[in-house]
Chains A and B, each alone.
Chain A
Amino acid sequence: MTMDRRTVTQMAADLRARKVSSVELVRACLPRIEASQSSLNAFVTVTAEQALAQAQAADRELAAGRGGPLAGVPIGHKDLFCTAGVRTTCGSRMLENFVAPYDATVVARLQAAGAVMLGKLNMDEFAMGSSNETSYFGPVRNPWNTDLVPGGSSGGCAAAVAARLLPAATATDTGGSIRQPAAFCGVTGIKPTYGRVSRYGMIAFASSLDQGGVIAQTAEDCARVLRSMAGFDPRDSTSVDNPVPDYLAGLDAPLAGVRIGLLKEFFDTGLEADYERRVREALAVFERLGARLCELSLPNIPRSVPAYYVVAPAECSSNLARYDGVRFGHRCRNPRDLTDLYKRSRSEGFGAEVKRRIMTGTYVLSAGYYDAYYLKAQRVRRLITADFERAFAEVDLLMGPTTPTPAFALGAKSADPITMYLNDIYTISANLAGLPAMSVPCGFAGGLPVGLQIIGPHFAEQRLLHAAHRFQLETDWHTRVPERCA
């Protein structure tokens, strides 16, 4: 059970060169996943048989000189992308036994590109959480130190890639759910521009903020996978109908002259000193590569967290109303009447954090409070977006820390939701403004991975991937693996 450190890019090349078969890759992954479950708990469902069948099909295609760009490459899906015939739990008791009768667009596109699904990855319940502790299927643990959280909500995805259980996974990011776990686990993650990746079949948390993306080892891999999953989907009215560029093109081009802005608000008092040093060292690498750095201030950024915790719960309170025990999902036993059916099915089916957000969201949308909370939060959102627009008139990219601290201990923040929410303080603003953003490994603080966040203007995924790739050509932080997993 030796670790396969190959990236998606390397695997795809080896598969095409027939140096390795997809079946061999899958057969190597499955026992390592199995063995990791007791310590990491990264998977909710492992689809061994289906994966082998897909791998065999991919091998046939490759043997015939056909096959898509990801033919035979094993990947995993965050367990909120619907997969026909394979249960999709959203990390919730509510959907413990829910089997979707259809594939999410992302799932279908990656399958069409030849990717092989190994299983469904653990996550915070309904993607609500920053530590993966809210999953009904138990917390995921950080491969760097299993006493620590992997971050959330895409904790299973980040942990699995960090432990090299698979080379890449789909994930989603509503307030930092790709970038924060990527930072905590020392892997690379991209949240594309809102509307770039179809949300069809991606179980909703907060519709105006949710965006699908990728967690992988490298920026190049992110580009490779994103290229196959992005693009307009007529079934998602919020997906954007403009062509997907070849994210792999021009990744090696020089960075000279790129203007990088440092947000003053991201280097505030909450940022741990060691973390800040690693981020500044990373920025120095960019400077050496010819980028120009300058400091910027976006005055409305500090309002991101409160605005987010109005908008996201508001949308969630409505999105989760469909889980009523009538048509699918958990239904309580022997309901006395309709109200009892609703009350008990939902009380039993949802965990504490989900309930907290449903209640918050219901409150902020209520008559008499709507203007004071929801409308005001939407105004703040517009101000933040305008702040970013001004910034991107001056710089090409913004950079800073992904989180204020490295991974924290399980249970350290679960008793205090506000402390937990503040962990997303640097990531949330990109969601509010719909901007593409990445987290890239940039060193260690106290032995734990540190993430560099890169934010760009709308649809500048290529620019982000380019900068991240050039950084990864100069550094090897993204190649480090936890010793205990090796």
Chain B
Amino acid sequence: MSTPLGTSVSADAGRRQGDAWETVIGLEIHAQLATRSKIFSGAATAYGAPPNTQACLVDLGYPGVLPVLNAEAVRMAVRFGLAIGAQIARQSVFARKNYFYPDLPKGYQISQYELPIVAGGTLEIVLEDGSRKRIGVTRAHLEEDAGKSLHEGLAGLTGIDLNRAGTPLLEIVSEPQMRSAREAVAYMKKVHTLVRYLEICDGNMQEGSFRCDANVSVRPAGSEKLGTRTEIKNVNSFRYVEKAIQYEVARQIELIESGGKVIQETRLFDPDRGETRSMRSKEEANDYRYFPDPDLLPLELEAAYIEAVRAELPELPDAKAARFSAQYGLSDYDAGVLTASRELADYYEAVTRTVPGQSKLAANWVMGELAAVLHKDGLEIGAGKLPAERLAGLLARIADGTISGKIAKEVFEVMWASGASADEVIASKGLQQITDTGAIERAIEEVMAHHPAQLAEFRAGKDKLFGFFVGQVMKATQGKANPAQLNALLKKKLPG
């Protein structure tokens, strides 16, 4: 039931290992906030610039410089918090996380530690059986990203690119409430959908704008006590998250069942080999020596500010899906698929507005034909290849009987390839449906004359041959005969 746009949940990796073990997963998602400038400086955040061209003195950690908080990053974090029904802290505190690394210019990362800006929200995911599950979001906090260490093409050297240093991140930390890799992916997709709805993150996973760390442990089924967890760092695709967790769960169960013990450590997922590898153990872990950053005052938010941000929230995915079900008579599943992104939902609504009363037809076409070609060509709905009005034009011709659904697929293919409108394609290819009763009757009579044996059999009681005659007439009219009319006329004529 999975479609290119679907987010359904199926087989449970944890349970596949046998019912003896329960998997416990918590995710830390890093969403890069779509601000134009960095979180503590005025440098641009655009991706892909030549190395070190978008790092100002503040990003470089020059002696004497000071951070100034980007108000837009704060607004985005508050939007997220409100969207998940969380508490927005009236006072939150930036802290320094101290460690040495060449791509960390100041020797510390400014983050939030004890008092994050967002705490205690929830998100709902839909499981494979259609049931819903609430996942708690423990906290979401603002922090700056580090730079990048580059190794490719630099034999024996490490290059440092600080363009990314200081890019605002919202770290979204879930409760350990997911019980399978599929649940984790469903949750991650849900957050992905939400941040894009809120226009706070572009969600581009290839560019690292949306990535996650997965905390994974297993415990005997029924046990209350959490097992020792490992943390899989920096996974940047839904598929890798699923694979990494499945691998890790299997590894932990195997380890315990063979008498070993899971050790708390940080692991990396190697997508080429499909396995996780140890990066550093707890003993080797840094003591980050967090303390409140004395360069930044506590962030104070007034109730009026929070309410103003709330008033600007767009319709959120769950609310939109519920409205789609009610307003357009769609199934929960279809409504869920169509609201997976704001662009898709807007597109669907634009189509239905143009061909009123055809909401189900529109849903089928958007989720079916359109989704398939988008997927095939690797395009996004927002790319504008087929404007909603164009697709609506095609659906209007189906609705008014000008063409059949079957012909419509042919027309659609031409429209997709050429950019022409439905009417242009129908006219130029002469695909207009035959609705002239006389013409259809003449075609039927010809077919009856050419197939006397089949006609005799039908009249002798072989009803199944009705379909044969439909097919023959369609063939004779190049599929253009109006199917409903054809049916009615055949029923009248065949019995003799």
Binding site for B on A (CB under 8 A): 80-82, 88, 90, 95, 98, 100-102, 104, 199-204, 206-208, 234-238, 314-315, 317-318, 320-322, 324, 326-329, 338, 342, 362, 365-367, 370, 374
Contact = CB atoms under 8 A, between A and B. Distances in A.
Contacts, number: 101
Contacts of A327: 60-62, 105
B117 to A, nearest CB: 16
Interface string B104-143: 0111100000000000000000000000000000000000
A204 B100 contact: no
Given A237-B297, A321-B108, A82 B64 contact: yes
A88 B291 contact: no
Interface stretch (B65-73, B361-369, B471-479): B65-73
Given A237-B68, A327-B61, A366 B289 contact: yes
B299 to A, nearest CB: 10
Contact of B294 (A202, A207, A317): A207
Contacts of B106: 321-322
A425 to B, nearest CB: 23
B57 A102 contact: yes
Contact of B61 (A102, A201, A322): A322
A243 B84 CA distance: 41
B22 to A, nearest CB: 31
Nearest to B106: A322
A321 B107 contact: yes
Given A101-B57, A338-B102, A365-B289, A324 B107 contact: yes
B64 A100 contact: yes
B224 interface: no
B344 to A, nearest CB: 41
A4 B378 CA distance: 79
Nearest to A81: B64
B316 interface: no
Contacts of B296: 237-238
Given A234-B68, A237-B295, A342-B100, A318 B289 contact: yes
A168 B98 CA distance: 38
Contacts of B102: 324, 326, 338
A6 B40 CA distance: 44
A323 to B, nearest CB: 8
A293 to B, nearest CB: 36
B96 interface: yes
Contacts of B62: 100-102, 327-328
A338 B102 CA distance: 8
B287 interface: yes
A326 B158 CA distance: 11
Nearest to A233: B66
Contacts of A104: 64
A80 B63 CA distance: 9
Contact of A318 (B57, B69, B96, B105): B96
A362 B105 CA distance: 18
A322 B64 contact: no
Interface in B45-88: 57, 60-69
Contacts of B61: 322, 327
Nearest to A315: B294
B287 A367 contact: yes
A102 B62 CA distance: 10
B213 to A, nearest CB: 20
A317 B62 CA distance: 16
B100 A324 contact: yes
A237 B297 CA distance: 7
B160 interface: yes
A104 B62 CA distance: 12
Given A237-B68, A237-B297, A366-B289, A90 B107 contact: no
A207 B63 contact: no
Contact of B63 (A82, A237, A324, A362): A82
Nearest to A329: B63
Contacts of A90: 63
A200 B64 CA distance: 6
Interface in B154-181: 158, 160
B289 A199 contact: no
Given A238-B66, A324-B100, 13 more contacts: A88-B64, A202-B64, A204-B64, A234-B68, A237-B69, A315-B294, A318-B107, A321-B100, A322-B63, A326-B102, A328-B62, A365-B291, A370-B289
B68 to A, nearest CB: 6
Nearest to B52: A327
A200 B66 contact: yes
A95 B63 contact: yes
Nearest to A342: B100
Given A98-B63, A102-B57, A238-B297, A321 B291 contact: no
Contacts of A207: 294-295
Contacts of A370: 289-291
Contact of B295 (A80, A82, A238): A238
20 contacts: A82-B63, A101-B62, A200-B65, A200-B66, A202-B64, A203-B63, A204-B295, A237-B67, A315-B294, A317-B289, A318-B107, A318-B289, A320-B107, A321-B98, A322-B106, A326-B160, A327-B61, A338-B158, A342-B100, A366-B287
Contacts of A100: 62-64
A445 B289 CA distance: 46
